[in-house]
Amino acid sequence: MPPRKKQSTETLKGITIRVVNSLKGPTPADEIVQKILSIRSETGKKLNSTIRTYLKHEIGQTLVYLDKQTIVPIALAFQGVRFRINLDEIHEKGYLFYREFEPFLAELNPDTVQFVSKDGTSLKTDHIKVENKRKQSYTWQQTEYFSLIECFPQQKIQVGDSILVSIVQYQPQPIFCLEYETASQRQEKKIHKKNQELANILFGLLENAYDEYIMIREAIPTAYCRLQNPRDYPGDNWKKVLKTDNRLCYMDWRIVYPEAQTFRDIFMDKPESEKEMEIKQKQAKLSPEKAKRIYCWKVSFSYNPDIWRRLELQGLNTLAEFDHCLREAFQYDLDDHLGGFWRMIQRGKTNRFREIQIADIEPSGEGQGAELRIADLDLQEGNLLKYVYDFGAWLEHTIILESVSQPSTQAKYPRLIDRNKPRYRYCEDCQQKKSKTIATWVCIECSNEEQRIVLVCEDCLNKYHQDHSIDRILY
Ligand SMILES: [Zn+2]
Ligand SMILES: [Zn+2]
């Protein structure tokens, strides 16, 4: 009998990392997958996709994607890359940084990093841990820092100065070169251009991500490596770039859209008075011309777009009025349930949308954002909103702004100008009595019992189906 072939004990993940680390330059992902499959002497669609998943998990750790198809090991990609630490805050323990540095460390142990000056002499930085004073659930209890106290003894360190970092070497031992740059030495034009480029790359990554966030540890290495010249004079640190670009912000370990921050403000931090101030500020700017403008909306029931209404409202109409108008148009209850509006913003060229809540409206017309006027929303033709009636039953409607125009002098606004042609169904209790009444409800209880759909009118509902569970019919 031939000796049994010794089974390899290396895991698929292990092989994947080993193959990536052995690459000599940028390599197509397909080629890497083939290489791994040949080592395993196995094939199969499932194995193929498992390897691709492993590769994705390693972004920012052992590799980066230069584009959708091209992988390069991080040690190679980072070689010579330069970035900036902005000295923007003074800490009681001196000038500290770490968060700015973290995405460039990948899996390196911070204590193994060697810092050198431009002429190669070793610089002393302390890796320290500081307890956080803020005791909020979403901030870390402890923050790590590198201390700069002994790094630049001749330098009078000031806020606004920077440290320029170059990655001299990543493996086997990480070496980072630090140069001091004063605020007056900043090459603002170059910095501005680099900042813009970095922000654009990050925004592109976020727009194309499946979720409404990207991980800092993946996105920052990827974005820096995708810069046209990552080894040139560096722009501001990613943290500063994110703070100054209003399309993006960062929260904990993620980069998110700004509304994620707003959401947190609403629920965690911001006092009620400040929110009211913001709404008041927005309202102050409305000109008479904008107030009179006519906004024409087509509102479709999301679960059946054949059911729709076309409404006209003016710029000065509030979202509370819009909500009332929608309730009337769809014959919803005027005295019960919440209504809510969201803005829908397409994410890049994908078919996914960001949903930004703009108002919750009670039947009384009160609620968060209820006082916002339509003109305050800065909408353009083609923009989308979502309206939900009844947060329990959650009836969703898609609203498109079809046109913005000048008012006609005779008309009164808001008004319903068109609707789908209703295909009425009739009440069966009434039909038995030979009269034709439009059914407005499905009796769920009777439908279940009789194994067919039981349609009833308002009157018969009150007479024969009291306390039965029902569903409204929309026409
Ligand atoms: Zn009836
Ligand atoms: Zn019934």
Distance 465 CA to ligand 1 centre (A): 11
Q: Which ligand is nearest to the CA of 456?
A: 1
What is the 449 CA–ligand 2 centroid distance (Å)? 9
What is the pLDDT, as a whole number, of residue 271?
58
Closest ligand (CA of 426): 1
Q: Determine the pLDDT at residue 65.
A: 97
Residue 368 confidence (pLDDT) above 60: yes
Q: pLDDT for 249-276, tens place per residue?
A: 999 899 999 888 765 555 455 556 666 6
pLDDT at 135: 52
Ligand nearest to the CA of 467: 2
pLDDT band (50, 70, 90) for residue 126: confident
pLDDT confidence tier of residue 156, bands split at 50, 70 and 90: confident
Domain extent listing, the chain: 83-185, 288-419, 428-472
CATH homologous superfamily of 288-419: MM3350-like (3.10.290.30)
Kindly give the distance from the C-alpha atom of residue 458 to the centroid of ligand 2, in angstroms, as a whole number.
12
- The DSSP 8-state label assigned to residue 438 in this structure reads B
How many Å lie between the centroid of ligand 1 and the Cα of residue 429? 5
Q: What is the CATH number of domain 83-185?
A: 2.40.330.10
In the chain, the amino acid numbered 233 is Y
What is the whole-number distance in angstroms between the Cα of residue 37 and the centre of ligand 2? 62
Q: How far is the CA of 473 from the centre of ligand 1 (A)?
A: 14
- Residue 436 alpha carbon to ligand 1 centre in Å: 8
CA 458 / ligand 1 centre spacing (Å): 7
The span from the CA of 331 to the CA of 458, in Å, is 13
What would the pLDDT profile of 392-449 be if each residue is shown by its tens digit?
989 999 999 999 999 887 889 999 999 999 999 999 989 998 999 999 999 999 999 9
Rounded to the nearest angstrom, the distance between the alpha carbon of 308 and the centre of ligand 2 is 28
- Residues bordering ligand 2, an ion, CB closer than 5 Å: 443, 445-446, 465, 468
Confidence of residue 280 (pLDDT cuts 50, 70, 90): low
Residues above pLDDT 90, as percent of the chain = 68
pLDDT of residue 136: 53
Distance of CA 442 from the midpoint of ligand 1 (Å) = 12
Name the residue among 2, 14, 20, 132 with its Cα closest to residue 70: 20
Distance (Å) from CA 261 to ligand 2 centroid: 47
Q: What is the pLDDT of residue 4?
A: 54
Task: Specify the residue for token string 């994908």.
Answer: 350
| Stated pTM of the model | 0.82
Q: How much is the mean pLDDT over the chain? A: 89
Give 294-297's long-range contacts (Cβ < 8 A, gap of 24+): 294/403, 294/404, 294/405, 294/406, 294/407, 294/408, 294/413, 295/374, 295/379, 295/401, 295/403, 295/404, 296/401, 296/402, 296/403, 296/404, 296/405, 296/417, 297/385, 297/399, 297/400, 297/401, 297/402
Residues in the chain: 475
